[in-house]
Structure 1
Amino acid sequence: MLKLKKREQLQWNMVIRTRYHFLLVCLALSLVAGYTASCTAPSAANGGTLSTYQLEINLLGTKNRLLVDSQGRPKTNVEISSADDRISLSFNKGTVGLDKDQRPLQAIDAAIDPSPPPSPKDAYIVGAVYDFKPEGANFKPQIKLTLSYDQRELLEGLREENVYIACYQDTGWGKLLNKKVDTESHKVTSEIDHFARFAVLAPRVHPTSGMPLVPSDKVEVVYFHRTQRCSSCLYAEKWTRYTVETYFADELASGKVVFKVLNVEDKENAAIVKKYGAFTSSLFINTIKDGTDHIKEATDVYTLIGKDDAFVKAVKSNIEKSLKGEA
């Protein structure tokens, strides 16, 4: 009888412990859920979290609100412009917008930079430089940025199709991929995955020297990319590599042509990134003659993303010209 009571007591103690542990687990899970919600969504007035909220967007003083969910994703496709139509941002439904701490964006602000950086050596700034905040904001997938320009500021002989949007950060100016120039409305559009300072740039027009060409000693084909890569970036690397390895195999073997793929955000590449003036995904051809670098960005390939034959043809042509000494 005594043994039976002890057994019943042990069983009862086990039930109590099991319930106690279950309550502890439930409490822990509720705390984790509460913490996660507080990190991903703005708080409501009653201390809870909002399923949707209004993202404040200020473009050159024009204020708008964009309805987004708790993860910072727009509920619909939307395009927002400044009152003077100098800046436009286009968001696709479901685009995730996060700040530098990977939390949903609370506000977006774009203003004219009162202290713009100097122009790069091979181009000049057309109009203003725009500073987009918050610093470190990033988007996945990319959003579209459209900037207008005054065609009267373009140098004589320059085609409007040659203007482009560039991004400025610590390493200097970097040309954006996938540009689209509307010569009727005088606007240029590119895709961006983060905020920084942006401007419309135009290449400087250089007169033809008329000097005979001297074949290059060496040609460096360098493709730069960022850590976070998009499909266009991967496409450009894939087909550039294909072109080099298919049509310039002998030159690769002899060292006449060198192909490199480098991450602009890798500290080990800081020197070469600075040398080429790269910032984001970009393809450069360096024609080296008598030990002197003649670096040129292959801008013509950016509009050919997704067009395999045309892309390969453009890259091949750039390398062939470089081998002939056309710097």
Structure 2
Amino acid sequence: MEIDLLGTKSEFLVDSQGRLKTKVELSSADGRLSLWLDEGTMVKDKDEKPLQVVHVSIDSSPPFPPDDAYLVGAVYDFRPEGANFDPQIKLALSYDPDELPEGVIERNLYIAGYKDTGWEKPLYKNVDTESHRVTTQIDRFARVAILAPKEPPPLDKPSGPADKVEVVYFHRTQRCYSCIYVEAGTRYTVENYFKDELASGRVTFQVINVQDKENAAIVKKYGAFTSSLFINTIKDGTDHIKEATDIYFLIGNDRAFVEALRSKIEKSLKGG
């Protein structure tokens, strides 16, 4: 398999099943882009045949960023389209802190992939603010870039107990382990710790497919575009929507996940 990383070419052995026979650690000549693949990783094209060539270039016609984010640096085009990896491979992109839009907090940067359906935010990220590098994991190729979330306008906090709390989990049609885990953990938390509130309708739990056109209105309301969990505290008919991003760091830790989410819902019920 030949990997062309912005003009830097290297070759690695892949067997007839598509299994990588050696570990891969590569960086582009300018140091802005790095890839890591573990030995034994299955590397296949869209037809599930062993991957022969990987080509990464800077996209000369990059897509517009989502409405709620800034584009930071270049958009990188990973080819061939449809190439997939099991387990996921690690990708890191570097950025220039002097080029960040005013008000952007470095630790909030993330890598997103762009496909026909729009931008997708991977579940895992790590931001190294000293080396100015963002790392994520991907299981298939797309156009990728660093995005910086725009700070939403501050919302007035509800005063007094909430009238209703909506717990809404969004997912894409193609599910992964983390996606299924978050849904199951959220369902367990709501159904076991908020039985009375569920029965009275003061707490509701919904699972929404963001790619189902019938869900367009609620997807737009919450600003969801990939796997994401939101808690909406409703007081006097006003929505106070917050995304529970931090619970993704607790995936696999059942007790911590449930306790953290339970605390968030209890706080919302109190109007916090």
TM-score, normalized by length of structure 1?
0.70
The answer to whether the aligner puts 1:222 opposite 2:169 as a matched pair is yes
Cα RMSD of the aligned pairs, angstroms, is 2.9
The answer to whether the aligner puts 1:314 opposite 2:260 as a matched pair is yes
Q: Please name the residue that 1:271 is paired with.
A: 216
Q: Please name the residue that 1:68 is paired with.
A: 14
Q: Give the 5 Å matches for 1:1-327.
A: 55-206=1-152, 208=154, 211-213=156-158, 215=162, 217-230=164-177, 232-263=178-209, 267=212, 271=216, 275=220, 278-287=224-233, 296-320=242-266, 322-323=268-269
Distance 1:207 1:283, change over 3 A: closer
CA contact (8 A) 1:227 1:263 kept: no
Give the distance between the partners of 2:217 and 2:185, measured in 1 at CA: 22
The one-letter amino acid paired with 2:188 is Y
1:313 Cα offset (Å): 3.6
Give the distance between the partners of 2:225 and 2:64, measured in 1 at CA: 15
Distance 1:138 1:217, change over 3 A: same
Distance 1:204 1:237, change over 3 A: same
Give the distance between the partners of 2:181 and 2:141, measured in 1 at CA: 23
1:177 Cα offset (Å): 0.9
Distance 1:273 1:71, change over 3 A: farther
**SS where residue 3 of structure 2 aligns?**
strand
Give the distance between the partners of 1:318 and 1:155, measured in 2 at CA: 31
Which consecutive residues of structure 1, in runs of 5 or more, have no partner in the other structure?
Answer: 1-54
Give the distance between the partners of 2:164 and 2:243, measured in 1 at CA: 19
Give the distance between the partners of 1:292 and 1:110, measured in 2 at CA: 46
CA contact (8 A) 1:171 1:277 kept: no
CA contact (8 A) 1:56 1:63 kept: yes
Relative contact order: is structure 1 or structure 2 higher (C-alpha 8 Å, sep ≥ 6)?
2
Give the distance between the partners of 1:291 and 1:114, measured in 2 at CA: 46
CA contact (8 A) 2:167 2:205 kept: yes
1:73 Cα offset (Å): 1.4
**SS where residue 68 of structure 1 aligns?**
coil
**SS where residue 141 of structure 1 aligns?**
strand
Distance 1:95 1:217, change over 3 A: same
Give the distance between the partners of 1:228 and 1:104, measured in 2 at CA: 24
Identity %: 62
CA contact (8 A) 2:167 2:229 kept: no
For the pair shown, the structure with the greater C-alpha radius of gyration is 1
Which consecutive residues of structure 2, in runs of 5 or more, have no partner in the other structure?
Answer: none
Give the distance between the partners of 1:172 and 1:318, measured in 2 at CA: 30
Distance 1:71 1:163, change over 3 A: same
Distance 1:310 1:271, change over 3 A: same
1:261 Cα offset (Å): 3.5
The one-letter amino acid paired with 2:11 is R
CA contact (8 A) 1:98 1:104 kept: yes
| Length, aligned pairs only | 269
CA contact (8 A) 2:165 2:265 kept: no
Distance 1:223 1:208, change over 3 A: closer
Distance 1:140 1:179, change over 3 A: same
> Which string of whole-angstrom CA distances, capped at 9 and with x for unpartnered residues, describes residues 136-171 of structure 1?
111112111111122223345543221111122233
Distance 1:254 1:307, change over 3 A: same
CA contact (8 A) 2:158 2:240 kept: no
